[in-house]
Amino acid sequence: MEATITEAQLEKEFQQKIDSGIVIEPKDWMPERYRKQLIRMMSQHAHSEVVGMLPEGNWITRAPSLDRKAILLAKVQDEAGHGLYIYSATETLGIDRAEMMEQLHTGKAKYSSIFNYPTQNWADIGAIGWLVDGAAIINQTALAKCSYGPYSRAMIRICKEENFHNKQGYQILAYLMRGTKEQQEMAQDAMNRWWWPSLMMFGPSDANSPNSAELMRWKVKLHSNDDLRQRFIDRTVPQAEAIGLTIPDDKLRWNPDTRHYDWGEINWDEFYAVISGNGPCNHERMSARVGAHEKGRWVREAAAAYAQKHLN
Amino acid sequence: MKESNEALFRYCLRIGDTSLILGHRVSEWCGHAPILEEDIAMANIALDLIGQTKIILNYAGELEGEGRTGDDLAYRRDARDFYNLLMVEQPNGDFAVTMMRQYLVSSYMFLLYSKLRNSTDKTISAFAEKSLKEVAYHVRYSGDWVVRLGDGTEESHQKAQSALDQLWFFVDDMFDADETDMLMFEKGIGADIKSLRIDWNNMIEPKIKEAKLVIPEANNFMRMGSRSGNHTEHLGYILAEMQFLPRAYPDATW
């Protein structure tokens, strides 16, 4: 009985800290469920960075100029760095990277559904930078103020780089829209394919988001999925118009009363199909990750053996 | 083009094409490396190499004086007009092949750029000065892996030895000096390839020994030809992939 009371007291004090805006650090007491939820969210975030290297990495060898190639390389390298950074931040919660990788490879842990779509033309690289990283920035700017210190600090740093990614993606598309008819078609085709999946990145509608209430109470989440999605739409529509891209939503229009854009309906069947493993590229992405891990096993073993031999 | 410019133009293509094709190969790993840290390191190396390519191919375009940019040179030449070392176009193979190839070539670049730092051509010497810092890291990184793999497990040792054996066919090609090399050396622009070979042997031998690997016999078959644009079959595929967009949409800018 006494332990239960203590636990309840601790939890009360924890909530008071959260409510008064005190940041939680790794060595502070935290409810087991807070720890688990953060591990789930942060590892999913780290996995998304790493799996996200694949669709973009797909175009590095075909980037159409030396500058574009260098920029894309730097960008994908940043994503790997973000993955590493967030894995390390997650390790402060008492799980190691090997276990997180195992969870990814066995399908226990998820990653962002957006990376299960294929990059079919060069404009897709622009669309990923502009739309996908744009959506990520909206999410991450909110997470930068979350209650867990290591996650919040990681987000502050990562957002700076994501802003650069966002600009380079938009610039790719702006160039294409100023270019030949074929280039303009390429850009519009990418817009058509990436718009709705980008909106899905914010997750289920609030009514169907099982974790939201708890996460908001703990200030892990500060805004609802729908609020963040609307923020993204409001920010992105004028950018599309500025370079002549059409957003594939015939219900989209400015609402002067709400001062937001009204828009259509997400195909939630598609969203749930993709997160449950049946998106266009789920199999390719997972087999690429698992394949790299398996093919690299002898390399990791060699490094460990060498380190063991030369311990002194 | 003046005769001396023509030789320098070709000399720049050799350096730039070698960086470009090696950068391309290394970038093929992106997202597929054995460890996340290696993914970051290899993307970094590829990025350095593409950066070096830009400087030197843009300069080659200026020297030629016909309005071609570095991009034109990278994306609009066919294989027979490429002068990269044969070693760098070889497929990535496993991680041991990639690290061994990087070590052998980065060591070559390190020694070459150390000499080119004193080039009488100011662009070449500035290029060498800048690149040397980057290449020194590539040597250290790949050299560390050569040692870890060679002196790791039995399996990694075999893979590392096999990598060295198969890449060794392309070593003489690196030092196959022709009249362009001679001319550039005489003018104080380029490096003395003969002494480069000696320095290179002295540089790599202790590392290969530390990795518990054996350098193949000297009298083995050697594949040559990069100085005259004679390549292995691999380069054509690299170019087909790399040049696809500018070739498919010749009027477009990106």
Q: Which of B8, B110, B2 is nearest to B60 (CA)?
A: B8
Measure the CA angle with vertex B247, ends B241 and B249; round to 5°: 120
Residues of chain B with C-beta less than 8 angstroms from the C-beta of A60 = 27, 30, 46
Residues B176-191, mean pLDDT to the nearest whole number: 96
The complex scores an ipTM of 0.96
The pLDDT tens digits for A169-183 are: 999 999 999 999 999
Q: What's the rounded Cα separation, in Å, for the pair A185 and B211?
A: 54
Q: Which residues pair with A260 in a beta bridge?
A: A255
Whether residue A161 has pLDDT greater than 80: yes
Assess B75–A contact: CB distance below 8 Å, yes or no. yes
Whether residue A4 has pLDDT greater than 90: no
The pLDDT tens digits for B54-91 are: 999 999 999 999 999 999 999 999 999 999 999 999 99
* Domain B3-247: top CATH class: mainly alpha
3-class SS at A98? helix
Q: What percent of chain A has pLDDT over 70?
A: 98
Assess B240–A contact: CB distance below 8 Å, yes or no. no
Q: What pTM value is reported for the model? A: 0.96
Residues of chain A with C-beta less than 8 angstroms from the C-beta of B212 = none
Q: Which residues pair with A253 in a beta bridge?
A: A262
Whether residue B214 has pLDDT greater than 80: yes
The pLDDT tens digits for A243-260 are: 999 999 999 999 999 999
Contact B36 A61 (CB under 8 A): no
Mutation test of the interface with chain A: which of B36, B147, B149, choosing the one with the most A Cβ atoms within 10 A?
A: B36
The pLDDT tens digits for A45-103 are: 999 999 999 999 999 999 999 999 999 999 999 999 999 999 999 999 999 999 999 99
Chain A from 47 to 76: CB within 8 A of any B CB:
50, 53-54, 57, 60-70, 73-74, 76
Chain B nearest-CA distance from A178, in A, is 9
Report the residue from B30, B155, B241 with minimal CB separation from A298: B155
Residue B253: closest C-alpha in chain A: A179
Whether residue A233 has pLDDT greater than 60: yes
Q: Using pLDDT thresholds of 50, 70 and 90, give the confidence band for residue A311.
A: confident
Confidence at residue A273, expressed as pLDDT on a 0 to 100 scale:
95
Dihedral angle of Cα A103, A107, A113, A117, to the nearest 10 degrees: 120
Contact B249 A180 (CB under 8 A): yes
Q: Per-domain residue ranges for chain B?
A: 3-247
Q: Characterise A21 by phi-psi region: left (phi > 0), alpha (psi -120 to 50), beta (else).
A: left
Mutation test of the interface with chain A: which of B156, B157, B237, B238, choosing the one with the most A Cβ atoms within 10 A?
A: B156
Contact B253 A175 (CB under 8 A): yes
Mutation test of the interface with chain B: which of A68, A168, A178, A299, choosing the one with the most B Cβ atoms within 10 A?
A: A299
Chain A nearest-CA distance from B46, in A, is 8
Q: What's the rounded Cα separation, in Å, for the pair B198 and B175?
A: 10
Report the residue from A65, A76, A298 with minimal CB separation from B71: A65
Contact B54 A292 (CB under 8 A): no
Whether residue A272 has pLDDT greater than 60: yes
Confidence at residue A1, expressed as pLDDT on a 0 to 100 scale:
52
Q: What's the rounded Cα separation, in Å, for the pair B191 and B197?
A: 11
Report the residue from B28, B37, B156 with minimal CB separation from A302: B156
Assess A77–B contact: CB distance below 8 Å, yes or no. yes
Q: Which residues pair with A262 in a beta bridge?
A: A253
Whether residue B20 has pLDDT greater than 80: yes
Confidence at residue A246, expressed as pLDDT on a 0 to 100 scale:
98
Contact B36 A83 (CB under 8 A): yes
Confidence at residue A96, expressed as pLDDT on a 0 to 100 scale:
97
Mean pLDDT, chain A, whole residue set: 95
B45 Cβ contact partners less than 8 Å away, ≥ 6 residues apart: B23, B26, B102, B137, B138, B141
Q: Using pLDDT thresholds of 50, 70 and 90, give the confidence band for residue B221.
A: confident
Confidence at residue B34, expressed as pLDDT on a 0 to 100 scale:
97
Q: At what angle do helices A66-91 and A149-177 cross, to 10 degrees?
A: 160
Residues of chain B with C-beta less than 8 angstroms from the C-beta of A63 = 245
Terminal alpha carbon distance of chain A: 51
Residues of chain B with C-beta less than 8 angstroms from the C-beta of A288 = 31-32
